[in-house]
């Protein structure tokens, strides 16, 4: 295991939300009352009194995503049997120029998150480019507000299916490759693995892909940390009493270090739960995508990521939250100048939420260098 992931694991364990003493005392009292030895000889009926609900904290009130994207729409994607949620700010084109002359960053979130994790980043990109570069963030299947159609199952999160979803979505939005803008693919963690594999398929279909950005994932260290994921996931609450509580947990547990971004993105991560009067501890809200159920797909997402990234026929950028130790393929590739690598300090795994301004500065600068390239001159990352 790399030093980064070892220290990250230790830091995560040390920073797990601590149970306040008053809550702990309440839990002990409840557990004592629920002890089997305290039951009468005849089995008592199940306790149906709901547990006390925590009052919402106004400091963590959700923020609408309306000011971060121009549009939020559902896109019918028949080939994937999905109704996909897309958050989109189109590029502002000069008078007389068609959209095909513009650029759009296509953003894919990581496992368990949603397109709104790019909300603050999208706003920064729009401001820094004066709207010249558009941003499109999507909700993957079983995430956010993307839903299956015709009663079709959406529980298959295998890599090929996720890649096909992205390609099918972009073909539905931009049916004519010649009239489509140039795509710059941006993917976080699982999303990075998806976007790297989607790029060559889009190019085969005639779409222009100017570059691919992978956020905070390296194949070697990702595979090393997978055996420890169940321990990390065990620290996640089963549910929440309110949206405000969910936002507060993400901030206090250091899952997201930017309160503003958390107030925009976290509401899309939870859904109403099915009530169970027989359960002593039931919550009105639960996870939209329980990460434990995605375990069977983890290894397939990241295996072969380094070689696929280096083989991309476009500019390449790797952005990390720490000085991660690159695996052998990436180390050789970096020495050969095949991609650019940037480390954004003082951020965690959700670096695009933790410091969206710095990430936007990094990617916009990279985009400007690769947006318009003279024919015959290689782009950065194509040396």
Tell me which residues are annotated as active site.
189, 216, 349
In Å, what is the CA distance from 299 to each residue of 153, 164, 214, 321? 22, 18, 17, 21
Sheet holding 285-287, edge to edge: 239-240, 285-287, 270-272
In Å, what is the CA distance from 175 to each residue of 71, 167, 206, 207, 361? 19, 11, 11, 10, 31
Whether 303 contacts 224, CB under 8 Å: no
Q: Report CA torsion sign: 144, 203, 309, 214.
A: negative
Would you state the torsion angle of the CA atoms of residues 368, 371, 377, 378, taken in this order, to the nearest 10 degrees? 90
What residues pair up with 71 in beta bridges, in sequence order? Answer: 88
Token pair belonging to 342: 């940037």
Beta strands at 147-148 and 82-89: parallel, antiparallel or unpaired: antiparallel
Spatial CB neighbours of 320, under 8 Å, sequence gap ≥ 6: 216, 218, 341, 342, 343, 344, 351
Nearest Cα to 82, choosing from 175, 163, 147? Answer: 147
Beta strands at 133-138 and 103-108: parallel, antiparallel or unpaired: parallel
Can you give the C-alpha Rg of the chain in angstroms?
Answer: 22
């Amino acid at each position: 295991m790399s030093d980064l992931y070892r220290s990250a694991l230790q830091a995560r364990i040390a920073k797990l939300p601590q149970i306040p003493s008053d809550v702990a005392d309440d839990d002990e009292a409840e557990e004592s009352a629920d002890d089997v030895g305290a039951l009468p000889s005849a089995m008592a009926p199940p306790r149906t009194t709901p547990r006390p609900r925590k009052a919402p904290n106004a400091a963590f009130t959700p923020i609408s995503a309306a000011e971060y994207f121009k549009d939020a729409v559902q896109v019918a994607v028949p080939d994937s049997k999905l109704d996909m949620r897309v958050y989109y700010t189109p590029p502002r084109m000069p008078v007389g120029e068609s959209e095909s002359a513009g650029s759009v960053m296509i953003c894919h979130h990581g496992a368990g998150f949603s397109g709104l994790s790019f909300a603050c980043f999208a706003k920064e990109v729009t401001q820094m480019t004066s709207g010249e570069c558009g941003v499109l963030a999507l909700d993957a299947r079983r995430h956010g507000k993307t839903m299956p159609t015709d009663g079709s199952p959406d529980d298959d999160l295998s890599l090929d299916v996720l890649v096909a979803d992205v390609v099918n979505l972009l073909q539905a939005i931009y049916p004519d490759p010649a009239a489509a803008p140039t795509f710059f693919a941006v993917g976080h963690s699982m999303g990075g693995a998806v976007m790297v594999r989607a790029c060559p398929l889009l190019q085969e279909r005639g779409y222009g892909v100017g570059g691919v950005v992978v956020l905070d994932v390296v194949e070697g260290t990702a595979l090393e940390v997978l055996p420890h994921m169940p321990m990390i996931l065990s620290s996640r609450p089963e549910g929440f009493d309110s949206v405000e509580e969910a936002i507060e947990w993400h901030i206090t547990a250091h899952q997201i270090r930017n309160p503003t971004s958390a107030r925009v993105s976290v509401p899309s991560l939870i859904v109403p739960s099915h009530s169970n009067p027989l359960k002593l501890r039931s919550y009105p809200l639960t996870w939209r995508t329980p990460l434990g159920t995605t375990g069977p797909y983890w290894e397939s997402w990241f295996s072969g990521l380094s070689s696929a990234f280096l083989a991309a026929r476009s500019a390449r950028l790797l952005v990390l939250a720490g000085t991660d130790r690159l695996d052998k393929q990436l180390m050789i590739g970096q020495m050969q100048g095949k991609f650019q690598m940037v480390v954004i300090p003082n951020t965690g795994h959700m670096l695009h939420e933790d410091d969206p301004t710095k990430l936007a500065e990094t990617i916009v600068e990279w985009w400007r260098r690769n947006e318009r390239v003279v024919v015959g001159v290689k782009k950065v990352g194509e040396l």
